[in-house]
Every structure is written in C-alpha cells, then in structure tokens.
Chain A
C-alpha cells in the first residue's frame, strides 16, 4: 500500500533547469519531450520560473467535470488518472481546473495530468538530487489546502516578480 503523497512546491527555489520536464517525459514518453511533460516550467520573464503541475485538489473539479468519466483518482496516491481511450479531448477538465493545469498532449491530443508516477515522482527525484528542492515529496497531504496551489503560472510569476524585483516587478510580466 503506497502512502498518500503530495508534491510540495517552493517556486522561489526553481532554478529553471527543466530537468523535471526531461525526467517526467523520459518516464512517461520514453524520451525528452518537455511539452508532453506533466510538469511544465513556465518563464513569463527570465528569473521567474514556475513549475506548473497538478495539486490534487481535495474536491477534484477536473474529475467531476469530465462528461465521459475518463478521469478518476488513484486510491493510494490520490493522483488523477486519465483513461486515454475514453478521453474525447473536449477540454472540460482544463476549464474546470483552478490553475488550468491539464493540457492536451502534443502527440495524441488527450488530456494529460500528473499521475505522481505511482508514488515515486521522477520530477522530485531530479529536483532534490540537484539540491534545489523546488519540488519535494511530503506525506502531509491532508493537512494542506492543496487546491490553493493550483494557480495560473503567470499569476504566480507576478507574485515572484514582486518578491524578487520589488516595484520593478510590477512591470515585467504583462
């Protein structure tokens, strides 16, 4: 039985190396494919790198929104699972997500969402290996308001901009 896990994120600590994208896509796609990675690092302005990935909201609005029941949750990890046979690429899950995290895969055009690698997320492995710890694994899931972490990455970047650059930060992300 895998313990419930959660990927905690410290956006200020992201170096922008995008090894998470490479590790994720090598695991899920067999090769380096950043745009198919379940974690994508946005950079609306240099220095403001934001790791964008599913936060496993307690109420799973994406799962609820799917008209064909293609989405379900993994009972042990809490991850959202996509049944690619059932998915009709309608985009309802993308619109339902508070952070617009899911996307349609650049290859098969199906909804694509982090599956927590069955309990051993590859993105976390490479991020912690490099000592960045922008993505770390926790088991505190139930105590965190996870849904609050599902945010539009450009909004996150606007916050980071103020934190890093002060007043100037107000100008750098249009």
Chain B
C-alpha cells in the first residue's frame, strides 16, 4: 500500500520514443528521500549513476523531473519542484515554484513526471483523468509566457468541455511552461508558471527547451491524495493556517518593501553588478510600488494564507499593460538596483519582461549586469551589443534580456550564464579567466541571490553560498550546522513553500508524520534524512562534468567581489571574513561527515545508506 500523502504513481515519458509509462518507487525510497528535491536526486542516481560526469545535461539522455511531494497541496503553500542535472551547476537543484499545476497533477493521480529523450518537434504533455498524452506545441513555440498560458488555458479547457460537456463548467488546467529563453536553451532560464512565478535556480528551462518540451499541463478531478491520519491532518491544517494568518507584516508587504530596506538598512543589496550594496534611494521605497502599482494586495497560490504576493500592473505610459507579481525583493534588486535603476515602473517593466521571456528573474539579469560591468571595464565594446549600454538605463537592459533570449550578438555568449560567459569572453578577448571572473557573482555556476555577505547584517553570511550544494541559491543557504540547511531541504522535498514555515518546527514535522505515517521527527530529518539528500547532492556537484568540474575547497567559496571592501554606506570597508569562511567550511564539512575537502567519507555514506556512492567518491578522495 502506498504511504499517505502520495498519489502513488509517477510518469516516465520518453519524448524520443513517444512512450509513456507509469512507475512507482519503493516505500523505502519515499521514506528516505520523501519527494521533490530529495526523491528527484535519488531517481537521477538510479537512472544515471556513476556515469554522471559524462552526462551532458542538455542531451536527450538527460532526465528532467517535475515532482511534487507528499505535503504538496495539503500543507499550506503548494508548489512544484523541478530537478535534473543542472545545465548551469552540473549538480542538482530542487527548484520550486508556486502553481496549481502541482495539485492538478496529483488530482489526476500522479506525483510527478520524469522526461527523457527529445521530441522531434515542439510538444506539450497533457495529463488528465482520461490519461496522458504528448501533444503538438508547434503553435505555441516562440510565444512569450502570457500568450502561452492564455492559449493553453483556452485550448485545454475547451477540449475537456468537449470531452465531457455534461458535467458543468470546467475549471482551467494548471501548467508549467518555458518562454523564448528556455526554447533558446539559455542555460539559466526558468521553468515558469502563472505568468510571473518561476522555478528559476538550476536552469531547468533550458533543459525543457533542449527536449522541445514547451509545457506540462494537468487537470484532475480526483481528490487530494489520502493521508495516513486524516483527522489529525485536518486539525494540523487549521492550526498551521491560524498561525500563518498572524504573520501580518509579511502578509501585508510580502518582500515588496525590501527593495529599499535591504539596501538602506543592511547594505546587502546588489547595485550595478554588486559594485555597491548600499543605497538610500527613497524613489524605490515600498509605498512607491504599493500606492501606484499594486492592483491586488493579497495574492496567494493554492492553500496559502501567507499571500506574500501582490499583483502589479502598469496602467499608463510606455510600459502600459505590463503585469507581474509585486515584484518581490529579489527582482526589485536584480531587475532594478543591480541595473543601477531605482524607478519602480522600470523595475516592473523589466521584471515582467524577464517573466515573459522565461528568464529566471535573478539569474538572467545577473548575467546582463555582468555584461554591462564588462563594458564599463572596457572588456566588451559597443559593437558587441550593437548600442552603447548604460547603467540606470531601462532600454539597455530591455535589449540585453531580449538579445539573450534570441541569442543575438553578445547575447549568444551571455545565454551561457555568468560563469561560462566569463570564460568565453576571456577567451574571445585574450584575457586570463581570473581577470573576468572577479566580476562574475556566482557560486558553482549559480548566480547569487540578492543578499550579500559583506555587511554581515543580512541573513546570509560567510558560507551561506560558499558551502551550498545549490550554489548561489539564496533559498537554500548553509550554516555551520544541520538545521537551517535541512529546513530548506525539507520544504523542497515535501514540496511546499518555505514562506509557509513560520510556525514551530515540531508542528511541521507532526504534520509530515500525520500525512505520511513515516516515523519522521525534527531530529530524524536534521540528523539523517536532510544530510542524506544534501550528501547525495554534494556527490553530484563534485562529479560535475562534462564541460567543467568544480575543485573542492577552491570552488567552495564566495565570488571574489564578496572580498572587496564595500565602497559606501554605513558598512563601508567591510568584507566577508575569509578566515571565518575557511573555519566554518571545515566545521560544515565535519558536521556533515565529509572529509576536509568536502568529499563524503565512507563511514558517512554507510551511515546514511548511501553506499551506492562509495565507488564514485573513492575516486575523488
């Protein structure tokens, strides 16, 4: 019998062979890896194993997972988790986005889909109660996010209505899709949902694009999967929401006031490709967004009362009709201050543009700002862009984001992501890689979230990114112990929103136990299950390949810029403390049971039931 919280079936879709199979995973795998980020890593190992380093993530053989977890749709804040071999880090990321697609797929009876192969023409996958079909997407290829969603909504709803007209009105389906950036295999492109939600980190939009897979669409009329202890789950559901509802400030503002505050208060907001992290630009204050642009102040996704999202729309002027969510802090920073822009309208426009092109709003714009700094330093010329790029100029960044998505001019190189673009441009210009990498703000290929470490006043510190198995991902940062890291791993594996975890930890784990029936506790997760998943992810990123391999310790570090003194503001002169980074990295490796270079030891692999990794890890020790 399937454990509680799972629909109990997964799909394996081979797009080369037009073959769709239903599969199951053992109860042991479910208990040991849960779902989403964890289970995807285990399934990846089972499919690829020791040949990891030879696998090109953008080749047809490369698997792509679109997984839910046992908590999805049941615990507040349901999300989908996308994973696979990351085309940007060569490890794995459990990349999540909020969308009703996750519930629709579970209601149709499936916990997730693994894609392999490559369709010979653009397709989308349609999952309904009547079955699973690979459909032509020729008419959708090339469309931006909004048009893709509008067309698919109409087309699928009409078809379901035709199939069963008598049951009444059909609600629209759920979907994840890619925009032009994913189609063009921009390495750090996102898997998108709901026009402005993104599974950004990891670059899985390019993996979808490499498979000619435009979208995955689901509509199910069944119930949410049954759980082990339904009465307890219902009570815990009520209790958790009651606590989340009390989080009034976050519900009111989301992170939409942070575009001013993170810069002004904690000096950790990227400005002009992280040349500065402090500003006091009141033009960028929260109310300037809220009062003028927020048309819906409390916007939530399925089963969420945190409602940190707000819908923004520009209703006049040159960007009339642009719609996005808020933007949240990350995009206020990456599509605003990091471009040298402190204008809410321009920020909303560029955020909406990134969404519609299917860029990850953090990662793609990080690369765009990197390019403009290279121009500032004289490495790139006007001719590389076809115009003169300028900080603070919305048109500059509008054009660069489009050039990346079309792979035009320098955009073709930038589409490889910040790290690879640095290497390529160095080669093009006869420079040493280090000369350009000092401006590349990434860890292990993954461009860093918009929280700096130099001031040490934000939630991110010394090894937050340096030790992270998901590189620059700010949602999964490391500390020197188990707890914080394991928390993010749990949300990404149960597959629910990290922003719905502001309740006592014990409550969350009681919830998980009631749902699954697994003997799961805070302790067991922090000491065994969380470290098991992180250790497996560490093994993947260490194996790397085929075009690059990270060097342990040397690459377990912050970008050079984080060691340059902050040039301005109340924290002027501060740098990330390198000695502390070294010490905490050693402590982190020790805590996880990895050797001093961060390679998991034989004993640790045995203790975590990861013996299958021993052969690969022995080669690295």
Interface residues of A (CB under 8 A from B): 12-13, 15-19, 22, 25-26, 29-36, 40, 42-47, 52, 89, 91, 94, 100-104, 106, 109, 126, 129-132, 152-153, 164-168, 171-174
Contact = CB atoms under 8 A, between A and B. Distances in A.
A85 B464 CA distance: 61
B199 interface: no
Interface stretch (B274-282, B305-313, B437-445): B305-313
A132 B196 CA distance: 22
B290 interface: no
Interface string B237-255: 1000110010000000000
A111 B224 CA distance: 21
B150 interface: yes
A35 B149 contact: no
A165 B298 contact: no
B223 A100 contact: no
B216 to A, nearest CB: 17
Interface of B: 73-74, 100, 103, 107, 146, 149-151, 153-154, 166-169, 171-172, 194-196, 220-224, 226, 230, 234, 237, 241-242, 245, 295-296, 298-305, 307, 311, 313, 315, 320-321, 323
Contact of B321 (A13, A89, A166): A166
Contact of B107 (A35, A130, A168): A35
A74 B21 CA distance: 49
Nearest to A126: B241
Given A16-B299, A19-B303, A35 B321 contact: no
Contact of A100 (B100, B169, B242, B305): B169
Nearest to A112: B168
Contact of A17 (B169, B222, B307, B313): B307
A132 B74 CA distance: 21
A53 B217 CA distance: 26
Contact of B172 (A17, A19, A44, A126): A44
A26 B236 CA distance: 13
A32 B172 contact: no
B322 to A, nearest CB: 8
Given A174-B150, A174-B153, A103 B169 contact: yes
A12 B297 CA distance: 10
29 contacts: A15-B298, A16-B302, A19-B303, A25-B223, A29-B223, A31-B223, A33-B222, A33-B223, A35-B221, A40-B171, A42-B169, A42-B172, A45-B150, A46-B149, A46-B311, A47-B295, A101-B168, A103-B169, A104-B166, A109-B167, A126-B241, A129-B242, A129-B245, A166-B315, A166-B320, A167-B321, A172-B150, A172-B323, A174-B153
A174 B171 contact: no
A15 B223 contact: no
Contact of A168 (B169, B237, B302, B323): B323
A19 B169 contact: no
Given A19-B305, A42-B171, A168-B313, A30 B230 contact: yes
Given A43-B100, A45-B149, A174-B150, A168 B171 contact: no
Given A36-B223, A103-B168, A132-B298, A15 B313 contact: no
